[in-house]
A = this chain, B = another copy of it.
Amino acid sequence: MNPPLFDARFRDQLADLVRWRRDVRHFRTDPVDRALIDELIGLATLAPSVGNSQPWRFVLVDDPERRAAVRTVFEACSRDALADYAGERARLYAQLKLAGLDRAPVQVAVFAEREPAEGHGLGRRTMPETVEYSVVTAVHTLWLAARAHGLGVGWVSILDADRINAILDVPGNWALIAYLCVGRPEEEAAEPELVRAGWQQRLDASQVVFKR
C-alpha cells in the first residue's frame, strides 16, 4: 500500500474544514443514517492514543427517557452556572443557546476507560491524563469527519459527569469526556457562535505563541 500524497488543493480544503468546523447548538431534526455514524466512529478509533491504549468508549444514546434525563441534568447545571454571573454577563449568558439536546437527532456520549489494559501502561506513568487526552483526539477526529459530511457536532460540557454515568449505566471507572450532539446544522458560519454573540473574541497569535 503506497502512502497517500496530499496536494495543495487538499491542504486548502483541510484548512477550510478547520475554519468552518463550529460547535453547533442549532440542529435540524432530520435523521442521520446510522451507517454514517458508524463510519465516523470507525475513523475516530484511528485517532492517536497513549501506548495505543485506545481507551475511547462510545455510547450511542437513543432511548428517549435517557435523553430526557441528560437534558434535565444539563438544564440544572446551566441554571447553576447562570447564578455565577451578574449584570451584562448574566444577560448575555441567558441568551446563549448552549446545547442542541432538544433537537439533535444523534447523541453520543464519549468516555475514557481510565485504566485500560491495552497499551500496557506505556507512556502514561508520569502523565496518566494522556488516557483522557487520547479520547479527546478521537472526539476531534469524529468532529472534523462529521463536518466533511455536512454534519454539525456540539460538545456539551455543562453536565454533572457522575449523573451522566448513572443515567447511561456505564462502569464507574469510565470518565465522561464529551457528550456530543450530532445532526445537520441550521446554519453555517466561519466565526464561532460565541464570537458572534459577543461572549469571547478570538486571541491574536502573539498571545499564545512563545519561544524558548
Contact = CB atoms under 8 A, between A and B. Distances in A.
Interface string A103-124: 0000001000000001111111
A205 interface: yes
Contacts of A47: 18, 140
Given A42-B205, A127-B159, A137-B137, 8 more contacts: A6-B148, A14-B144, A21-B48, A80-B125, A89-B120, A118-B203, A119-B199, A119-B200
Contacts of A161: 126-127
Interface residues of A, number: 102
B121 A58 contact: no
Contacts of A188: 3
A123 B15 CA distance: 26
Interface of A: 1, 3-4, 6, 10-11, 13-21, 23, 38, 41-43, 45-48, 50-54, 56-63, 66, 77, 80-81, 84-85, 89, 93, 96, 98, 109, 118-127, 129-130, 132-133, 136-137, 139-141, 143-145, 147-150, 155, 157-161, 168-170, 176-178, 188-190, 192, 194-195, 199-200, 202-203, 205, 208-212
